[in-house]
């Protein structure tokens, strides 16, 4: 994609470390219930709960905050069938990330939930959609998942989206004035994933053109997108 005629520069794809510390979590109305759940542990409505939200909404960050507090281990949903479940519960707390219908071993998850109940362990499940709507083949698992408390993360409001954009720019050591942030808030999809994407694109384009990250550059970038 080309949106300007300035001098070209190779934009290196550098990783930008993201902190999952409690103090770096940006709270707002969209995630207040989920943050309250994490903060009230171990006083949960059930020893297993489901945290639901779209990609980039903060599920992993919240899970990391809880894991640091409760000593929880992490397990990817896709590896459930190969996991040593008794060992996974060694600390009495477990995060199972990215559950999605058709993308995990149903019997392994059912065994995990049963084992957690026997061990009186805590389990935090994360998913993009509520499990009640999943087409599961194992009826006992479907019943068990429907009975679990679900806490949802909703799209951020303007204030939180602004704060997220400011933090994302700061993480890349980019100065972002109010005109740029305000412009982006009204023109990108209302999600953390969209905020991350547009900041990364602006950073890369600014490097390529050897220009500062400004509202004008953002306008050019967004106009060039389909």
Instruction: Walk me through the domains of the chain, giving residue ranges and CATH numbers.
Output: 29-152 (3.40.50.300), 158-224 (1.10.8)
* Maximal C-alpha separation, the chain: 65
CB 172 within 8 A of CB 16: yes
Q: Whole-prediction pTM value?
A: 0.81
C-alpha neighbours within 13 Å on the C-beta side of residue 15? 3
**Position 171 pLDDT exceeds 80:** yes
What pLDDT, on the 0 to 100 scale, is given for residue 21? Answer: 79
Q: Convert the pLDDT of each residue in 61-110 to its tens digit.
A: 999 999 999 999 999 999 999 999 999 999 999 999 999 999 999 999 99
CB 148 within 8 A of CB 155: no
Q: Tokens standing for 41?
A: 């542990």
For 18-65, the pLDDT digits (tens) are 677 777 888 899 999 999 999 999 999 999 999 999 887 889 999 999
Q: Residue 203: name the closest of 217, 191, 192, 213 by CA.
A: 213
């Amino acid at each position: 994609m080309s949106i300007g005629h300035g001098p070209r520069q190779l934009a290196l794809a550098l990783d930008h470390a993201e902190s999952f510390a409690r103090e770096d979590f940006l709270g707002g109305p969209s995630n207040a219930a989920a943050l309250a759940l994490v903060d009230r542990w171990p006083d949960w409505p059930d020893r297993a709960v489901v945290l639901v939200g779209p990609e980039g909404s903060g599920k992993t960050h919240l899970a990391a905050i809880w894991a640091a507090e409760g000593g929880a281990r992490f397990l990817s949903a896709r590896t459930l069938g190969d996991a040593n479940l008794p060992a996974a519960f060694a600390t009495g707390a477990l995060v199972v990330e990215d559950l999605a219908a058709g993308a995990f071993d149903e019997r392994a998850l059912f065994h995990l939930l049963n084992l957690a109940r026997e061990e009186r362990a805590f389990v935090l499940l994360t998913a993009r959609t509520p499990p009640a709507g999943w087409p599961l083949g194992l009826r006992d698992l479907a019943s068990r998942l429907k009975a679990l408390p679900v806490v949802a993360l909703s799209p951020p409001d303007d204030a939180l989206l602004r704060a997220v954009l400011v933090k994302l720019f700061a993480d890349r050591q980019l100065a972002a004035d109010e005109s740029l942030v305000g412009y982006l808030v009204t023109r990108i999809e209302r999600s953390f994933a969209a905020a991350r994407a547009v900041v990364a694109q602006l950073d890369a384009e600014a490097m390529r053109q050897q220009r500062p990250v400004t509202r004008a550059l953002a306008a050019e970038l967004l106009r060039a997108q389909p």
